Structure 1
């Protein structure tokens, strides 16, 4: 499984992501390399941030409302939490959903407390 953000996914596949449909193409390219599941993080619309889970059988988009604040370390926190859920026996799709919800709750708490910067300071 790989968990690139938009920029990293573009570098890995040498393809630009200009619209949401491109996420399917990028994920397919990565799956065709032998990767079993792909999570592309950070597609943004005006009000939401979307993350995308893709394997050979499923395509799942999850969106959360954009939060104010400037958070660093969210990709690392996401990957660590995802691994934790996987190690506890959750299937990849469920681990993805649980990770997205867990991280969003942490970011909402940080937003409420007006804490920005490095995420690990508030976890």
Structure 2
């Protein structure tokens, strides 16, 4: 049994966070474990409330799943505050790849990571990461630069790489233009992948992409191969996004079939 663990917040709307990660793991044939850092009241349009779990609860969950399962890869999403960032860093076992999705602000604009927690994320967790997967606004915070072009995405990725991660994937969905471009930067250079941009906004695409990449690394795929596989997976998930009330759709991790890596 190949297992992966998501350390993230609960999305009551089911489109992002822990719920999206578990759906993605299942679609890719991975047994999903969870460490819940926060409970949110949200749907695709808004976050009405956030309640952080205490760091001792986060630490206990991490230690318990690590003791009971052989975990091939870990993913962090919404960590919320500095205390929980430190709890994760202190409890994360050696072994198993780490994918960091540096969730800072929700699709609806609600802040999900306290400003004073960013330094701890950069100092305690990113140096241990196999891959960091920021979107454009998150890459700007971590790299301390504006990102307006694909070339600036690459430079931001290199700056984040200098924090100690093995690779960085800068997601380009926030850039204007035609194709949606994601860019991987590692010690050997960069890879750019482009895909179709659909005429609607989606909720949960970042969570599903990083969870798919985590599933690939749990199966011991090389990072570059995992990047390509996860990008193909999320392209299908966005294409098959589920409609609903309001302008934002929810990505469909399962698509029309169960994907197997």
Name the TM-score, length of structure 2 as normaliser.
0.43
Deviation at 1:9, TM superposition (A): 0.2
Structure 1 residues 20-59: aligned runs within 5 Å = 20-43=150-173, 44-59=175-190
**2:181 is paired with a residue of what secondary structure?**
strand
* SS at 1:103 equivalent: helix
Spell out the pairing of 1:102-121 with structure 2 (5 A cutoff).
Answer: 102-110=233-241, 114=243, 116-119=248-251
Are 1:19 and 2:149 counterparts? yes
Q: Deviations over 1:14-65 (max 9, x none)?
A: 1001222112221111111111100000253522110000100030000001
Rounded to whole Å, the distance in 1 between the matches of 2:202 and 2:192 is 22
How far apart are the structure 2 equivalents of 1:99 and 1:122?
13
Unaligned runs of 5+ in 1: none
Q: CA RMSD in A?
A: 2.0
Contact 2:166–2:186, Cα closer than 8 Å, also in 1: yes
Residue 97 of structure 1 corresponds to which residue in structure 2?
A: 228
State how many pairs are aligned. Answer: 121
Query: Does residue 210 of structure 2 align to residue 79 of structure 1?
Result: yes
> Normalising by structure 1, what TM-score?
0.88
Higher-Rg structure is 2
Contact preservation (8 Å) 1:38, 1:53:
yes
